[in-house]
Amino acid sequence: ATTVTIAALGANPVFIDINPDTYNNHVNKIQEKITDKTKAIMPVHLFGQPAEMNKIMELSQKYNLKVIEDCAQSIGAEYHGKKAGSIGDIGCYSFFPSKNLGAYGDGGMLTSNNFGFAEKARILRQHGAKIKYYHDELGVNSRLDTLQAAILNVKSKYLPEWQEKRRSIAYKYNKELANIEYIVTPKEIDNCYSVYHQYTIRLVGKNRNQIQEQLKDNGVQTMIYYPVPLHLQKIHQSLGYKLGDFPESEKASNEVLSLPIFPELTEEEQNKVIGLLKTI
C-alpha cells in the first residue's frame, strides 16, 4: 500500500534494506540512495514501532526532501516524545478494521503542520474541488464516511487504554519467550513508545510452516508479515530488483511470525500461546 501510492504518481519507489532488529528502514542506508531525482523519504513505522526519525529528519534537511510518514500501524506511537506522524511533513493513518484504531469499514486520515498541504489534501479528497462543482485539480473521492467517523469518534477514546494493554501483552511475551533458544523476540529502540500493532518474533533454524500448523491445530492463529518483500513483488518487477538485493528483508520474510496480540486477549489465552511455543 505504501509504495503503490508512489507508483500511482508516476514516481519510482527506491527501496533500502531493513534494520534486522526493528524491521523498519535501515536509516544508515538511506543517504547512499539519495539522488537529484529524490523528492521524499517515506518511512513506514512498522508493527507499531516508530522509525528512527532523528536521522531521517537530519537527511531530509540536508537534502531538502519531504518526509511522509506511514503511520497505518502506529497511531499513538511516540518517538522522543513526539507522536508518529507529527515529525515529518505529512502523517498517513489507516482506520482499516484490523488496525489499532479500526473503523467498521475503510477509512483513513492525514495530518500535517503545513497548512498548504492540509488545504491541498482537503481539495484532492473531494474530486479536486475547493468550492463545490469548481474543479481545480485532478482529485479523487476519498472522504471519510460519516458512519465510520461516528464509530471512530467513540472508539478513539479507548485508544490509550488499548495501547497499554498491547504493550503489557508484548512485555509478557518478551519475558516468557526470552529463554526459548529458537525464538528472537522484538526489540524496542530507545526513547520510543511502541504500540505493538503486531508482536513479531523470528524463528531461527526451525520449520516455520510446521510451527504455524501446530499452533493452528491448537486453535492459535498466527500470521506472516510479510511473505514477499516489496522489491520482489510482481507489481514492482519493472524496477529491476532481484533476489539477493536486500538480504535482511528476504531473511526476515522467511523467519518472521506474528503472534496473537490485541487488547482483548486474555491472560489465559496468552498463556496458552506461550505454553505451546515452549513445548513445540
Ligand X SMILES: *Cc1c(COP(=O)(O)O)cnc(C)c1O
Which residues of this chain interact with ligand X, rule CB under 6 A? Answer: 1-2, 44, 70, 72-73, 94, 96, 106, 108
Question: What are the two backbone dihedrals, phi and then psi, of residue 203, each rounded to the nearest 5 degrees?
Answer: -105, 115
Closest CA to 54 of 72, 90, 28: 28
Which of residues 108 and 128 has its CB atom nearest to ligand X in the complex? 108
Residue 248 gets which letter from DSSP? H
CB of 178 to ligand X, least distance (A): 27
CB of 38 to ligand X, least distance (A): 21
Q: Using CA of residue 9, residue 55, residue 88, residue 161, what is the dihedral sign?
A: positive
Which of residues 89 and 176 has its CB atom nearest to ligand X in the complex? 89
Cell 538485493 belongs to 245
CB of 180 to ligand X, least distance (A): 28
Which of residues 67 and 183 has its CB atom nearest to ligand X in the complex? 67
How far apart are the C-alpha atoms of 146 and 139, rounded to whole Å?
20
Which of residues 73 and 258 has its CB atom nearest to ligand X in the complex? 73
CB of 98 to ligand X, least distance (A): 8
How far apart are the C-alpha atoms of 221 and 81, rounded to whole Å?
34
Residue 72's Cβ-count burial label (10 Å; 0-12, 13-18, 19+) is buried
Closest CA to 107 of 158, 54, 144: 144
Which of residues 139 and 277 has its CB atom nearest to ligand X in the complex? 139
Which of residues 23 and 193 has its CB atom nearest to ligand X in the complex? 23
CB of 108 to ligand X, least distance (A): 5
CB of 69 to ligand X, least distance (A): 10
Buried b (16+ CB within 10 A) or exposed e, 19-57: bbebbbbbbeebeeeeeeebeebbbbbbbbbbbbbeebb
